[in-house]
A and B are shown apart, each in its own frame.
Chain A
Amino acid sequence: MELNGRPQTCEIAPGANLLHVLRELRQFSVKLGCETGDCGSCTVLLDGEPVNSCVVAAARAHGHQVTTLEGLLDDPLMKDLQARMVAEAAIQCGYCSPGLMISLYAHIKAGGSADEAVLREALTGNLCRCTGYVKPLAAAAAVATERRGGTS
């Protein structure tokens, strides 16, 4: 597969999920939460689309692009999002944060709206027990509005 823009080969068990393989590859932003596709702490991008890596077969990534938060640290949009999340104090325990930020990143990158209802829809796959979503949504709305040239 292509992991964060670089070719990556590895041996995997046929029944492994992508989550475990990515952690073995030291992508520690990919967190294990529920392993049932519900919590979103394992969210990564597969060919640019957000997926829950715990319910994706690792073998499926063969020949495809996988992007984790580690691969986006120098990305201007992700940097904006990080700065806004910090400015809004949108991170408490932080366990959900990498997955949540991947989902928001994918939404904003695709030109998605800054409307609260639409942003909430983009986060249907990410559970956060601490923040109540208010601050992460405010951060995302600010970045999305900026990207869309001031319109929501």
Chain B
Amino acid sequence: MWDLKEYRFAATAQQAVSLMRQGPGKGAFIAGGTDMFLYPAGCDFVVDINHAGISDIARTPGGDLFLGAATTLHNLAINPLVTGFAGGIISEAAAHCGNRPVRSTATVGGNLCNALPSADMAPVLLALDATCYIADEESQESLPLADFFVGPRVTVLEDRLLVGLALPADAGSRSCASYKLTRSAEDISLVQVAVALDIRDGRIETARIALGAVAPVPMRAVLAEAQLAGQTVAEINPDLIADAAVIAAGECEPRDDHRASAEYRRDMVRVLTRRQITRALFENNTRTETGGTVA
């Protein structure tokens, strides 16, 4: 049982923010609650955002994919707009997060706002250049997801609400691959790697490599990305891919914890980055794989 004085429901995003600022005492938003019930950190009231009109998934006329912050991970896993975008990599990542009943209520917004270094939805969304939409009482702001995370468990939000995420239309045709290294799918990631390549006329126009659980916040390996951008698929060779993977391993800042050592994590970034680049390039296969052993 959680020592809470009041449970409030918000009917709109703006109302959610004003209910949050009303006091008295300390408040927090609650979506699925799957994190909040595990760590019921001292707050006096919560504002439920499940009826605030931010649970939809939509494709804009321009082809951007919009994901409401309160969309559940199960919906992301099965919604045709999402399974059909970027080879379904977002759906695959959602389907590998937690267990089936948790995904019925856990939301994508909660996963990101929780801001754990290991947030499972962060790497694929970073690799697809997601933009965050943030609501204040009267205004809305948008910023790249890459600028959303400030530190472990800290985002730019303060008492504002994450309304949703938009993925640019062109990201929908990227060639992607990702991997969640973990003891079992429902466990937290030891290392996550997501790769998204924009390949046009046989040339890598842009490359995105995003890493999870290996730095204070989910991050992009921008130096490794630069190594790939501009290369032609015909000329790219295993050495170049291996070099990019070594660069990515150098960019991350993993820590030791009870799940894995920093050294192991860094080496796994190297191995998994090499493999995901190769898969994105040559297998045209976007399945997110989960696995505990990397041979």
User: In this assembly, does B286 line the interface, its C-beta being within 8 Å of a C-beta of chain A?
Assistant: no
User: In this assembly, does B85 line the interface, its C-beta being within 8 Å of a C-beta of chain A?
Assistant: no
User: In this assembly, does A14 line the interface, its C-beta being within 8 Å of a C-beta of chain B?
Assistant: yes
Contact of B38 among A55, A62, A103 (CB under 8 A): A55
User: In this assembly, does A98 line the interface, its C-beta being within 8 Å of a C-beta of chain B?
Assistant: no
Q: By the criterion CB–CB under 8 Å, are B104 and A15 in contact?
A: no
A124 CA / B184 CA spacing, docked (Å): 10
* Closest A-B pairs by Cβ, 6 of them: A15-B2, A15-B4, A125-B99, A124-B99, A59-B7, A125-B101
User: In this assembly, does A11 line the interface, its C-beta being within 8 Å of a C-beta of chain B?
Assistant: no
Q: By the criterion CB–CB under 8 Å, are B7 and A37 in contact?
A: no
Q: By the criterion CB–CB under 8 Å, are A36 and B38 in contact?
A: yes
Q: By the criterion CB–CB under 8 Å, are A50 and B100 in contact?
A: yes
Q: By the criterion CB–CB under 8 Å, are B104 and A57 in contact?
A: no
User: In this assembly, does A20 line the interface, its C-beta being within 8 Å of a C-beta of chain B?
Assistant: yes
User: In this assembly, does A46 line the interface, its C-beta being within 8 Å of a C-beta of chain B?
Assistant: yes
A103 CA / B1 CA spacing, docked (Å): 25
Q: By the criterion CB–CB under 8 Å, are A14 and B45 in contact?
A: yes
Q: B91-108 toward A: CB 8 Å interface, digit per residue (1/0)?
A: 000000011111011000
Contacts of B46 in A (CB 8 A): 14, 57
**Nearest CB of B to A98, in Å:** 13
Interface size band for B = 20 to 34
A16 CA / B99 CA spacing, docked (Å): 22
A81 CA / B38 CA spacing, docked (Å): 32
Q: By the criterion CB–CB under 8 Å, are B38 and A14 in contact?
A: no
Q: By the criterion CB–CB under 8 Å, are A60 and B104 in contact?
A: no
Q: Which residue, of B7, B30, B185, has the highest number of chain A Cβ atoms within 10 A?
A: B7
Contacts of A40 in B (CB 8 A): 99, 101
A123 CA / B100 CA spacing, docked (Å): 7
A36 CA / B38 CA spacing, docked (Å): 6
Q: Which residue of A lies closest to B184 (CB)?
A: A124
Q: Which residue of B lies closest to A123 (CB)?
A: B100
A52 CA / B105 CA spacing, docked (Å): 9
Q: Which residue of B lies closest to A62 (CB)?
A: B9
A40 CA / B98 CA spacing, docked (Å): 12
A20 CA / B2 CA spacing, docked (Å): 11
Q: Which residues in chain A, 94-152, are within 8 Å of chain B measured between CB atoms? A: 103, 121-125
Q: By the criterion CB–CB under 8 Å, are A122 and B104 in contact?
A: no
Q: A4-41 toward B: CB 8 Å interface, digit per residue (1/0)?
A: 00000000011111001000000000000000111010
Contacts of B4 in A (CB 8 A): 13-15
